[in-house]
């Protein structure tokens, strides 16, 4: 049995991975059959993901969505490769079945029941580049430290900018928001320069300029990456919608062609029926005409028989004449 109950779009789960932040992925299930289909979603890491809803009923010729949420992670996977898998099970159920009626036994492969299974893999997409080391003056010496060890106030400002970037996907809004926080970033840097009195002024300026450049480059890269992903997701959705429309148009064209062929068949049958009816009508007319002719012949035969009967007897005048002649002969003989 090669029938596909549900079509899954997309075929894989893509999560925008960020440390200590949740990420969600939406999938679309399309039921192109004329049956009610029940589905169930399983994963190899149930504590790591949240699926809502994980079970449901997809009605004939309809669409259903479910969302998979990945919990906040504290460690970046090696090479951004995730080995987690998802399994989508689907099977046909009777009409009128509700979500509350779904049980695990519906998806058991026993008693010859067909259950379709489809595996989905997980792909992690990094929104921010790896943290680059920056110079930080400690005890009058320069030391390279990771970017996540920057001063607390600056981290708060950067996190605010990142949160605003994730909430507002428009590039111009993000740029205006980032420029609004420029003064606060400069104020934070002034506080740093005042607290670090033992550091050389030239070294401090170099560090501040480099820090500013790193912060701005990181923010710009985050905004660019988010914008690029938004454009890609929008393009993907447009392509999917266009593909779906093309498929529906093809299906509609096929249905129209089938209807035309059926109409042609009906027209041929109607023509044959009309020809048959005309033949029957002609036969009936000929039969009627033959009946009339037979009746006329019968009437003619009957009339001819009556004439013959009349001609067989003697006319009255002839009888009278014979009687008169016989009387005259008898009279003459008696004389």
Tokens representing 31 are 């039921």
Q: What is the pLDDT of residue 129?
A: 56
Per-residue pLDDT of 241-300, as tens digits, reads: 778 888 888 889 989 988 998 999 999 899 999 999 989 998 999 899 989 999 999 998
- % of the chain exceeding 90 in pLDDT: 38
The pLDDT tens digits for 141-170 are 334 434 333 344 444 444 444 444 444 433
Burial call 232-262: b when 16+ CB within 10 Å, e when fewer: eeeeeeeeeeeeeeeeeeeeeeeeeeeeeee
Helix (H) or strand (E) holding 143: strand 141-145
Residue 219 backbone dihedrals phi, psi, to 5 degrees? -65, -45
Average pLDDT, the chain: 76
pLDDT at 91: 94
The number of C-alpha atoms within 13 Å of 278 and in the hemisphere containing its C-beta is: 6
Instruction: Give the CA dihedral 92, 98, 104, 109, nearest 10 degrees.
Output: -10
Which of 210, 256, 230, 245 lies closest to 169, judged by CA?
Answer: 230
Residue-level length of the chain: 335
Supply the pLDDT for residue 197: 53
pLDDT value at 302 more than 90: no
Domains, the chain:
7-126 (2.60.40.10), 127-261 (no CATH)
Q: What angle in degrees, to the nearest 10, is found between the helix axes of 152-167 and 171-180? A: 160
User: Which two three-digit tokens encode residue 13?
Assistant: 């789960």
Among the residue ranges 54-68, 171-185, 219-233, 281-295, the one predicted with the least confidence is 171-185
The C-alpha atoms of residue 80 and residue 129 are separated, in whole angstroms, by: 12
Chain centroid, CA 224 distance in Å:
32
**Whole-angstrom Cα distance, residue 89 to residue 5?**
10
């Amino acid at each position: 049995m090669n029938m596909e109950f549900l079509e899954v779009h997309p075929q894989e789960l893509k999560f925008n991975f960020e440390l200590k932040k949740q990420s969600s992925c939406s999938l679309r299930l399309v039921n192109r059959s004329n049956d009610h289909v029940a589905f169930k979603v399983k994963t190899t890491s149930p504590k790591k993901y949240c699926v809502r809803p994980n079970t449901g009923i997809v009605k004939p010729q309809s669409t259903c969505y479910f969302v998979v949420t990945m919990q906040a992670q504290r460690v970046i996977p090696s090479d951004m490769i995730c080995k987690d898998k998802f399994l989508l099970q689907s099977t046909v159920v009777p009409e009128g079945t509700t979500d509350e009626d779904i049980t695990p036994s519906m998806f058991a492969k026993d008693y010859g029941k067909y259950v379709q299974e489809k595996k989905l893999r997980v792909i992690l997409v990094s929104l921010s580049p790896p943290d680059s080391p920056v110079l930080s003056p400690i005890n009058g010496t320069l030391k390279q430290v990771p970017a996540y060890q920057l001063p607390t106030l600056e981290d708060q400002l950067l996190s605010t900018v990142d949160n605003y970037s994730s909430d507002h996907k428009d590039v111009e809004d993000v740029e205006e928001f980032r420029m609004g926080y420029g003064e606060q970033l400069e104020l934070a840097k002034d506080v740093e320069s005042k607290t670090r009195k033992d550091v050389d002024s030239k070294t401090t300026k170099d560090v501040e300029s480099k820090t500013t450049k790193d912060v701005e480059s990181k923010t710009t890269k985050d905004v660019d990456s988010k914008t690029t992903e938004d454009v890609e997701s929008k393009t993907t959705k447009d392509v999917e919608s266009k593909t779906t429309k093309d498929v529906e148009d093809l299906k509609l064209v096929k249905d129209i062609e089938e209807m035309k062929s059926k109409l042609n068949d009906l027209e041929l049958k109607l023509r044959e029926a009309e020809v048959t009816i005309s033949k029957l009508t002609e036969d009936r007319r000929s039969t009627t005409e033959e009946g009339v002719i037979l009746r006329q012949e019968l009437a003619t035969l009957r009339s001819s028989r009556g004439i013959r009967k009349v001609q067989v007897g003697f006319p009255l005048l002839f009888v009278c004449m014979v009687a008169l002649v016989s009387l005259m002969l008898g009279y003459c003989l008696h004389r």
